[in-house]
Amino acid sequence: MKQSRRSFLQSAGTTGVVAAFGNTVSATGQSSTKEGVRRFHHVQIDVFTSRRLQGNPLAVFTDARGLSNEEMQGLARETNLQETTFIFRRDPAIEREQGVKVRIYAPEEEIPFGGHPTLGTAMVLRNLRVAQAHPGAARQDVSEVLLDLQVGKVPVNFREEALGSVFGEMHQVRPVFGPVHDHETVAKLLDLNPSDLVADLPIQTISTGLPFAIVPIKQLSTLQQGSAEFRVSETLRHF
């Protein structure tokens, strides 16, 4: 039977859940009910950049308690960003031990982990700690934010740079090495020639929270031809 891209990706271990549309909510403060309207505070942050309106945008709902899976999926689809995160606050003692519970949604599905949503959400939590500190009180520790994600605990460490900017670094879960894929099959899925791939290096699915297939390609120009770069990135994301 001829193997399609979808069937190949599924055989490589991809799983996902597509949820139905829920409510639309946004705006200020903690979740509340007034005349049937619930309001949830959210912020948008740019990750992997020191300049505004550049980098990777991320929407962060700072207190998502009360939202259903369907509503979170609907909100992620509504923001239409690469990822939207939802923070579920718990008792401070639990958060210190287990981390701040966070769920990550792409517009189509919930995902267990992502690099820029993890760093961006941790930065928002750090900034909230700074903003909520009472004058004269001991400053909360903002050097580390521990997140409780679907893949487990992911600490993010922060340091202030010389010019006053803040740099965050996460410690991902240990890598899991998955199946090795056939070069000819992968080349066909990517609309490439087998000769475009490095023959003596393996094509393997590897995960530190989100599975990606690492495909060694000989020339950068191969990616720069038409939509090849988009095809490769989308295929890798779903391996």
Instruction: Report yes or no: 115 and 170 within 8 Å, Cβ to Cβ.
Output: yes
**In the predicted structure, residue 138 carries a pLDDT above the cut 90:** no
H/E stretch holding 102 reads: strand 100-105
Out of 135, 170, 205, pick the residue that ends a domain: 170
Instruction: For residue 123, give the 3-state DSSP assignment.
Output: helix
Mean residue pLDDT of the chain comes to 82
Residue 33, pLDDT score: 52
21: in domain: no
Same domain, 43 and 151: yes
Instruction: Identify any residues that bridge with 85 across adjacent strands, giving them in sequence order.
Output: 60, 104
**In the predicted structure, residue 35 carries a pLDDT above the cut 70:** no
pLDDT (average), residues 21-37? 47
C-alpha angle with apex 209: 208 to 212, nearest 5 degrees? 70
Residue 140, pLDDT score: 65
Contacts made by residues 88-95, CB under 8 angstroms, sequence distance 24+: 88/63, 88/64, 89/63, 89/65, 95/146
What is the 8-class DSSP label of residue 163? T
Residue 169, pLDDT score: 96
**In the predicted structure, residue 21 carries a pLDDT above the cut 60:** no
Q: Which two tokens stand for residue 2?
A: 């001829």
Residue whose structure tokens are 């579920």: 88
| Sign of the alpha-carbon dihedral angle for 15, 99, 114, 200 | negative
Same domain, 178 and 164: no
Using one digit for the tens of pLDDT, what is the confidence trace for 125-135? 999 999 887 77
Residue 186, pLDDT score: 93
Say how far apart CA 13 and CA 239 lie, in whole Å. Answer: 7
pLDDT (average), residues 149-169? 92
Query: Assign residue 128 a region: left if phi > 0, alpha if psi is -120 to 50, beta otherwise?
Result: alpha
Instruction: Please give the single-letter amino acid code of residue 167.
Output: F
Say how far apart CA 181 and CA 76 lie, in whole Å. Answer: 32
H/E stretch holding 221 reads: helix 220-223
Its domain, for residue 154, covers 33-170
Same domain, 161 and 188: no
Same domain, 154 and 223: no
Look up the CATH number of the domain holding residue 190.
3.10.310.10
